[in-house]
Amino acid sequence: MRVVVIGAGGAGITAAIEAKRNNGDAEVIIVDKRKRIGFAPCALPYVLAGDIKSFDDIIEFPKNFIEEQGIKLLLEKTVIGINRSDKKVILDDNQELNYDSLILAVGSHSFIPPIKGVEGAELFTLKTIEDAEKLKARIDELKTKENPKAVVIGAGFIGLEMAFALAKNNINVSVIEVAPYILPVMLDEDFAKIVKEKIESDKLRIFCSEKVNSIEKNLVITDKSKYEFDLLVLATGVRANSDIAKNAGLEVNKGIVVNEFMQTSDKNIYACGDCIEINNIVLNKKNPSQLATTALRTGKIAGYNAVSNEKKSLKGVLNTAVTKIMGLTIASTGLTEFSATKNNIEFVKATISSKTREDYATKKNELIAKLIINKEKRIIGSQIIGDDEVVPMIDLLALAIKSGLSADELVMMEHAYSPLTSPVRSQISILAELCLKKLGVKKK
Amino acid sequence: MRVVVIGAGGAGITAAIEAKRNNGDAEVIIVDKRKRIGFAPCALPYVLAGDIKSFDDIIEFPKNFIEEQGIKLLLEKTVIGINRSDKKVILDDNQELNYDSLILAVGSHSFIPPIKGVEGAELFTLKTIEDAEKLKARIDELKTKENPKAVVIGAGFIGLEMAFALAKNNINVSVIEVAPYILPVMLDEDFAKIVKEKIESDKLRIFCSEKVNSIEKNLVITDKSKYEFDLLVLATGVRANSDIAKNAGLEVNKGIVVNEFMQTSDKNIYACGDCIEINNIVLNKKNPSQLATTALRTGKIAGYNAVSNEKKSLKGVLNTAVTKIMGLTIASTGLTEFSATKNNIEFVKATISSKTREDYATKKNELIAKLIINKEKRIIGSQIIGDDEVVPMIDLLALAIKSGLSADELVMMEHAYSPLTSPVRSQISILAELCLKKLGVKKK
């Protein structure tokens, strides 16, 4: 059998590897219009910041590694159409590729909002290595300039990571966010304010609740002020690439529609990664989830199912995410209070600010955490700000949400304690108890 | 109503606080023969090591804090008997205390093995602040001695933490362990070897598979060699204090027998902490679990149930534990391969050695982890060696074991990834997949 994968990003490559691993006899081909593939897009801001030395260091899937798995790479070829009745994809050089299973891993593109003057402006986005190289060249140019200025539009995590990278390059950065607070998808206002306070500096200023009205030459004009720039970065989100699916007559909404097996409305065509819509486990609503970890997991499912009769499934995602800015690790999973409210979900929440060790331990980090539970006591969301412990803590909470655990189970969770490593009681357990107390009060 | 708690360790104080919180009208009294209470025993080795400045810093529950909760403290009073028919405890000053609920939180004592010469030897154990102060005085004496030598018998975590503390005080330490490897309760031989290699130094040598035959003056004589000492520490485990329960006619085995509500064989008498036997969730067998975290959780249950009609329960423990030695964090939960084998549980395991970040991140720690699953794919145990991430990772696995999760669910677990904080795929997910592959091969 032959599996054709369109797109050599994390989702596509993972799908191809999984297909080949589960059916060594299958011919697996990846087609991509790009020449340079297999890099970790999330790492781009950190290369610009100098935290990672070079673009060569962020190649997660080198071409020879992919080929060693027995996968064929067709690069610099654009798919111009899918002939579903004949099960063929048509390339821009008129080559036709038959498939038994087709996997769409066509990714996403930077969203450019319809701001007046945006078409003529010299602006930068950050999606590909080429984007990052262009940005790097511009940053290098600015090194000779006195007091260079940058404006970043959007204070999501890409926006903030970029702002941090520019500030590290000695550029004065103004970040403009239309929402009332930064990281509006990951955090609620209370936590966003804590982060903002910690990451702002003379070099990096953030302006929230400000709408960009127009871009004129080297000026960003908002509803409140004007910002001069030598460098303008747009970090206003990404959108699913779904034209190819739409043109082939597949069901498409905000992304390509798939079932829990990553099958599109055509059962021989799978889709995965940034280009799909996927179920949110807590909300039971579908939306794109444009995270590397979603790409890998949906890619794995698509690749496995493309070559197997017995199908694996993924019920959905929680959009568990983390970023590190100015030495601060910020993570979240599930719903924020804002998203719960918006979706008419009743909840209670608790917040603690504590140390990651008992008071007597000499090495201590600050940890600020929030837990949100619904009125049936189920965990529905969490936000944590701290240090290295944050990632597995949020992973634990994601597992708790996914497993439908009640807060009672977290109160009595088992926890590893030793004076120099951890507090005697896990902050998660304390938060669960605080939430239950509030719920008790609320019920009375 | 009146609740009498015998024992002012972590379990007893937690039980008293929980009782008072859930029934403000209850009179809650703690009786303890000691004068100095409320300290964190796990922190003692770290005070001796100098990682924690003073014994004053490790008081977790100061007396005034306990009294502010409305709890009465009767210190320096020994309970000499329990009159169950009249529901009274009798103190050594002939005072009698009526109770409605009685909570036994009488702790454990250092086990002194029947080694020839042990009675006459000047030896140190580490259980109370007084023990630690005596040890500190001896350590200070040795500072004037040239090339002082210590022998520690037992390479469990207390033994190793003590050895590390002595070595930090510039004393040459020999640790003697009868088992074939260190930390035999927490780790299997493979992981124990890795830890041994990392923590041994010129100052700290460890000898396994060596049985102490006798102690003669300043000499420990084993079946293989002789070790001179200026200071001898016994770290050969603790045993439940259960005489008081036995004398009152309560059911006692290796510890006081309790049900899932922490009730002893007398329904008005509860017990918690080091003095009880508690169910191991994976084995479904009862044993003492002498950990601070078990003390707190069983204390919470006992205290709540002592004043409430509706009872809370704790199904058991996994003995999740962590220690930090020479900057290395070592944790485990559930069964080791050794304990699984001993209990005739079929299993497969996988081990990985990886970084806690992707290769391109500049700050990376080593992480070595093992996952053990049974043939029904359920997680049954894990061991992890690494850095700050270890504690919440092991907590996550403890939660997975307790929730009866299958390895399939860990393969697809949601994970927070960002280049500087974590690998793109959680090591836990990779381990679960490796285990399932081995299980598949084993089944064929």
Q: B3-48: per-residue pLDDT in tens?
A: 999 999 999 999 999 999 999 999 999 999 999 999 999 999 999 9
> What is the chain A residue with the closest CA to B294?
A414
Respond yes or no: is residue B435 known to be catalytic: no
> What is the chain A residue with the closest CA to B356?
A388
Cβ-Cβ pairs closer than 8 A, A with B, add up to 225
Contact B396, B428 (CB under 8 A): yes
Three-state SS at B10: helix
Q: Structure tokens of B282?
A: 């994976």
Contact A363, A342 (CB under 8 A): no
Q: Is B316 left (phi over 0), alpha (psi -120 to 50) or beta?
A: left
Residue with tokens 């496995």, as numbered in its chain: A304
Within an 8 Å CB–CB cutoff, is residue A194 touching chain B? Answer: no
Q: Please judge whether A43 and B419 are an interchain contact, meaning their C-beta atoms are less than 8 angstroms apart.
A: yes
Question: What is chain A's pLDDT, residue by residue, as a tens digit (444 residues)?
Answer: 999 999 999 999 999 999 999 999 999 999 999 999 999 999 999 999 998 889 988 998 999 999 999 999 999 999 999 999 999 999 999 999 999 999 999 999 999 999 999 998 999 999 999 999 999 999 999 999 999 999 999 999 999 999 999 999 999 999 999 999 999 999 999 999 999 999 999 999 999 999 999 999 999 999 999 999 999 999 999 999 999 999 999 999 999 999 999 999 999 999 999 999 999 999 999 999 999 999 999 999 999 999 999 999 999 999 999 999 988 999 999 999 999 999 999 999 999 998 766 666 656 678 999 999 999 999 999 999 998 899 999 999 999 999 999 999 999 999 999 988 888 999 999 999 999 999 987 654
Q: Please judge whether A360 and B52 are an interchain contact, meaning their C-beta atoms are less than 8 angstroms apart.
A: yes
Within an 8 Å CB–CB cutoff, is residue A390 touching chain B? Answer: yes
B402 vs A contacts (CB less than 8 Å):
409, 413-414
| DSSP E strand boundaries for A154-199 | 172-176
- For residue A440, the model assigns a pLDDT of 86
Contact B417, A292 (CB under 8 A): yes
The DSSP symbol for B162 reads H
A394 vs B contacts (CB less than 8 Å):
416
Average pLDDT of the residues in B341-366: 82
* pLDDT reading at B307 higher than 80: yes
> What is the chain B residue with the closest CA to A389?
B389
CA distance B405 to chain A (A): 8
How many C-beta neighbours within 10 Å does residue A92 have? 12
CA distance A409 to chain B (A): 9
Within an 8 Å CB–CB cutoff, is residue B43 touching chain A? Answer: yes
Q: Please judge whether B391 and A361 are an interchain contact, meaning their C-beta atoms are less than 8 angstroms apart.
A: no
Measure the CA angle with vertex A30, ends A28 and A33; round to 5°: 165
Within an 8 Å CB–CB cutoff, is residue A391 touching chain B? Answer: yes
A314, A359, A421: residue with CB nearest B329: A421
B333 vs A contacts (CB less than 8 Å):
414, 416
Residue A161 identity (one-letter amino acid): E
Q: Please judge whether A324 and B413 are an interchain contact, meaning their C-beta atoms are less than 8 angstroms apart.
A: no
CA distance B2 to chain A (A): 25
B60 vs A contacts (CB less than 8 Å):
358, 424
Alpha-carbon distance values, B189 to A73, B208, B209 (Å) = 45, 11, 12
CA distance B358 to chain A (A): 9
Within an 8 Å CB–CB cutoff, is residue A149 touching chain B? Answer: no
> What is the chain A residue with the closest CA to B317?
A414
- For residue A443, the model assigns a pLDDT of 59
> What is the chain B residue with the closest CA to A21?
B437
Mutate which: A56, A363, A417, vs B, most B CBs within 10 A: A417
Q: Please judge whether B388 and A426 are an interchain contact, meaning their C-beta atoms are less than 8 angstroms apart.
A: no
Mutate which: B164, B420, B426, vs A, most A CBs within 10 A: B420
A331, A414, A420: residue with CB nearest B402: A414
3-state helix, strand, coil in chain B (%, to 5): 30, 30, 40
B387 vs A contacts (CB less than 8 Å):
388
Q: Which of B42, B272, B275, B435 is catalytic?
A: B42
Q: How far is CA A400 from the centre of its chain?
A: 21
CA distance B420 to chain A (A): 7
- For residue B413, the model assigns a pLDDT of 97
Residue B343 identity (one-letter amino acid): N
Within an 8 Å CB–CB cutoff, is residue A417 touching chain B? Answer: yes
Average pLDDT of the residues in B323-342: 95
Contacts of B423 (CB under 8 A, 6+ apart): B354, B355, B356, B357, B358, B417
pLDDT range class, residue B263, cuts 50, 70, 90 = very high
Mutate which: A415, A428, A431, vs B, most B CBs within 10 A: A415
b/e for B309-347, b at 16 or more Cβ within 10 A? eeebebebbbbbbbbbbeebbbbbbbbbbbbbeeeebeb
Q: Which of A42, A208, A272, A435 is catalytic?
A: A42
Q: Structure tokens of A34?
A: 């790009």
What is the ipTM for the molecules in this complex? 0.94
Within an 8 Å CB–CB cutoff, is residue A322 touching chain B? Answer: yes
Q: Please judge whether A419 and B60 are an interchain contact, meaning their C-beta atoms are less than 8 angstroms apart.
A: no
> What is the chain A residue with the closest CA to B325?
A420
Distance CA B220, CA B204 (A): 16
CA distance B325 to chain A (A): 9
Q: Please judge whether A414 and B426 are an interchain contact, meaning their C-beta atoms are less than 8 angstroms apart.
A: no
Contact B3, B307 (CB under 8 A): yes
Of the ranges A271-280, B54-63, B125-134, which is most confident? A271-280
B292 vs A contacts (CB less than 8 Å):
417, 424
Q: Structure tokens of A140?
A: 């290098």
Pairing type for strands B96-98 and B88-91 reads antiparallel
Contact B213, B220 (CB under 8 A): no
A420 vs B contacts (CB less than 8 Å):
46, 51, 324
* pLDDT reading at B362 higher than 70: no
Instruction: Give residues 324 to 363 of A whose Cβ lies within 8 Å of B.
Output: 324, 329, 331, 333, 356, 358-362
A58, A400, A417: residue with CB nearest B293: A417
